[in-house]
Amino acid sequence: MPPETLTPERILEATEEVLRRYGPAKATVVDVARALGVSHGSVYRHFRTKAALREAVTKRWLDRTSEKLSSIVTEEGPAEERLDRWLTYLFEAKRHKAGDDPELFATYTTLIGESGGVVDRHVTDLEAQLTTIIEAGVSQGAFRTPSPATTARAVFDATGRFHDPCYAPEWSRPEITADFEAVRDLVLRGLRS
Helices (H), 74-175: 79-100, 102-114, 116-139, 148-158
For the purposes of burial, counting CB atoms within 10 Å of the CB of 149, is it exposed (0-12), middle (13-18) or buried (19 or more)? Answer: middle
DSSP state at residue 47: S
CA atoms lying within 13 Å on the CB side of residue 22: 16
Task: Give the closest residue to 186 by CA, choosing from 159, 164, 160, 148.
Answer: 159
- Which backbone phi and psi does 68 adopt, to 5 degrees? -65, -45
Q: Give the predicted TM-score (pTM) of the model.
A: 0.86
Q: What is the pLDDT of residues 104-143, one digit of tens each?
A: 788 878 877 777 688 889 999 999 999 999 999 999 999 9
For the stretch 24-73, pLDDT in tens is 888 899 999 999 999 999 999 999 998 899 889 888 888 989 999 999 99
